[in-house]
Amino acid sequence: MNSMITEIPLSALVSSDHNVRQTGRTTTRYLEGIEALASSIAAQGLLQNLVVHPREDGTYAVDGGARRYAALQLLHKRGQLSAEYLVPCTCVDHANRSAASLAENTLREPMHPADEFEAFLRLTRQGWTIDRIADAFGVTPVVVERRLRLAKAAPELLERFRNDQLTTDQLIALCSTDDHAQQVAIWDRFGSGHSWAARPAELRRAVLEQEIDADQDCRVAFIGGTASYIAAGGQVRRDLFSDTGNSAILTDPALLDRLVTEKLESAASELRAEGWGWVEIWPTWDYTAFYRLGRVGTTPCLSEDARMQIGLLQAEAEALMTEHDGLHDAAEADARDLTEDERHRVVLIEGRCAAIEAEIHDIETANRGYPSNIKAMAGVVLAHEAGQLRVERGMVKPADRRAIADATGNGHAIIGGRETQTSGRKSDMSDALRRSLLGHRNLAAQVALAENPDVAKVLLACWAVKQLRADTAASLGSTNTPTDLRVSENTGSGTRTGHPIIDEAGIARATRFNDACATIVASLPTGDDALWSDLTNMSALALDSIIGHAIARSVSLAVTGTGLTGQLLATLRLSMAEHFTPTVDTYLGRIPKQRVLEALSEAGQISSEDDRATLSGMKKADLAMEAERRLAGTGWVPALLRSGSEATRR
């Protein structure tokens, strides 16, 4: 089969009748899969080539990768990809188009859950939030959390799981204990040849037996061994059939639990005295709950003694380096080499200076901590794990992320965790609608900034200052300037690329803005020398327009609307009432009836209780259309879009 790899504009691709995957393209499951795949492509790009063959009219038919092609079309429809976006393709000859499609659709395998687990775990350790991982892989946050629960599994069982010797549910059941040896022993005992005993419920029951082998249960070591259990009044029996013939079997699990709790409570009391906002004790380490929490970093908190100690060490190092340089200068002045004694002294000085540098680093590391105001909002989790006390400080719950980000002045101060609440009930607003509204706000800021080049320069200067300070910034996070300093539609970060607008009016407005950015540079030459010459001779007003549009295109507002994002919005005097109209498509048709009624009430568009009763009795679609009519011209916008001043007026 002849083939070659190339890049083809999206506009030159068409569907192929020879694609063997024809079934189920209109089902809800298929369409939801396209949505998830589009999110993955938007986050990570197209990771697998399409398979195409050339047609006589100059276009290319997609024989393999119909779902990827549909996802690309969806992103184009939403304004996230241009028609000229270059799509990686494997081009085959006309005769082999059906064979290539068959191979594309039958020979591939889905990602194994074990591989997903390792990928998700690696990303959480790199500071990715669960929501961001879910977006990148096109799955729900619940799927990510479910995979991360496998972190408790014994490595041996994970390898068996990878070889399909046990299921996800069986492995999760075995993870009811943190004890890897117990997990393996129970699987070896029940996992093969006994189908009824290998069911997840039976495995979990076996894990949670009422008698406890002191040699196998790590909680016994945690409380100080069998002696501590007996001293508290616990009873034991000896297992005469064990290898030693004298293994202790604890017969009072409740007492063991109490002793574990008491030791944890004692540690928790000391942690509460440190001033943390909350301290949670977990009976065992809960990986699902842990990965939902974010973490805020430490900052230098040098005591007066530590500062004095560092000062003395620095003075000593400076005196030594003065002596070091003096020895070399004297030898150079006499046009001679260092004597044996001088060389020995130089070696001693250099060794001591290296030691001083290490001592200073150790002091600074030992004196890092959390400011008291951050402690008051963050917390600590502690539990026993593998017979040891595990303590994790600086943890942040989803509800506190915004307050801590505001307190640090850094929207990126918190890494990892869930960005959204996990209350267990369905939100009044879908994640797609929430992102779309924030996308509208970002687009409005871009449009306004394009018309204010002076403000654009201030934003660029803020970015420059943050970058220059980056090497010496505290570890509470990186820069938080509301720009990713990229102008491509397909790359970048934050609200600019992660919050696609989903309504037709907003998509059309985004397209007009992108077209305006393209138009402003369309007449400029592409050659470097000619471009430099044209820009050098251009008026300051025209240069400002180009700079303003480019910086505007890169705007990526923080979700919280505080810090530099808040300053930018205030300087622009951005009023979303001038940029967003609540209609059935943009908002009102996508929220529950109660939220529609609340919007009308806020806008003063419900005249009486009888009027409210009439509106409440309408069908949802009719109510949304009536609300669109009444809200027109009122200046009302959803709370998520309001600036500080607008929120105050409301």
311 vs 484 pLDDT, higher one: 311
Q: Is residue 42 part of a domain?
A: yes
Same domain, 452 and 552: yes
Binned at pLDDT 50, 70 and 90, residue 599 comes out as: very high
**CB-facing half-sphere around the CA of 215: CA atoms within 13 A:** 10
What is the average pLDDT across 220-233?
A: 89
pLDDT at residue 352, rounded to an integer: 92
pLDDT confidence of residue 347: 92
Question: Once rounded to an integer, what is the mean pLDDT over residues 367-388?
Answer: 88
Identify whether 212 is part of a domain: no
Residue 469 falls inside a structural domain? yes
Instruction: Please give the DSSP secondary-structure letter assigned to residue 275.
Output: T
List the domain range (segments joined by +) for residue 562: 431-581+632-649
Name residues whose C-beta falls within 8 Å of residue 359's C-beta, 6 or more positions apart in sequence. Answer: 313
Same domain for 446 and 358: no
Whole-angstrom Cα Rg for the chain: 32
Q: Rounded distance, CA 313 to CA 317, Å? A: 6
> Is pLDDT at 241 greater than 50 in this prediction?
no
**pLDDT greater than 60 at residue 470:** no
Question: Taking 60 as the threshold, does the pLDDT of residue 473 lie above it?
Answer: no
List Cα–Cα distances, 650 to 599, 601, 645, in angstroms.
11, 11, 9
Find the mean pLDDT for residues 523-527.
86
Residue 588 counted as domain residue? no
Q: What is the CATH number of the domain that holds 35?
A: 3.90.1530.30
Flag whether pLDDT at 491 surpasses 90: no
CB 430 within 8 A of CB 499: no
Look at 107-121, 170-184, 482-496 and tell me which has the smallest mean pLDDT.
482-496
Q: Domain ends where: 347, 366, 385?
A: 366
Residue 201 belongs to a domain: no
Residues 440, 580 contacting (CB under 8 angstroms):
yes
Considering the chain, what is the average pLDDT of its residues? 80
Band (629; pLDDT cuts 50, 70, 90) = very high
User: Distance (Å, rounded) from C-alpha 79 to C-alpha 502?
Assistant: 9
Residues 312 and 446 in one domain: no
Residue where a domain stops, chosen among 366, 392, 419: 366
| 330-339, 373-382, 491-500, 517-526: least confidently modelled range | 491-500
Residue with tokens 């006589």: 56
Q: Tell me, yes or no, whether 362 and 435 share the same domain.
A: no
- Any domain includes 389: no
Whether the pLDDT of residue 649 is over 50: the answer is no
134 in a domain, yes or no? no
Q: Above 80 in pLDDT, residue 198?
A: no
Six-digit token string for 406? 């505001």
Domain count, the chain: 3
| Residues 53-90 pLDDT 10s | 888 888 888 888 888 888 899 888 888 888 888 888 88
Across 616-642, average pLDDT: 91
Q: What is the mean pLDDT of residues 358-383?
A: 88
- Same domain (yes/no): 437, 567: yes
Specify whether 361 is located in the same domain as 441.
Answer: no
Residue 343 pLDDT > 50: yes
Residues with Cβ within 8 Å of 295's Cβ and at least 6 positions away in sequence, in order, are: 392, 394, 395, 396, 414, 415, 416, 417
Q: Same structural domain for residues 478 and 573?
A: yes
* Position 151 in a domain: no
Domain boundary among the residues 317, 335, 366 is at 366
- Enter the pTM of the model: 0.41
Co-location of 450 and 552 in the same domain: yes
pLDDT in tens, 394-444: 999 988 988 898 888 877 788 888 876 654 445 567 777 888 888 898 899
What are the CA-CA distances from residue 318 to residues 179, 232, 306, 312, 343 (Å)? 53, 59, 18, 10, 19
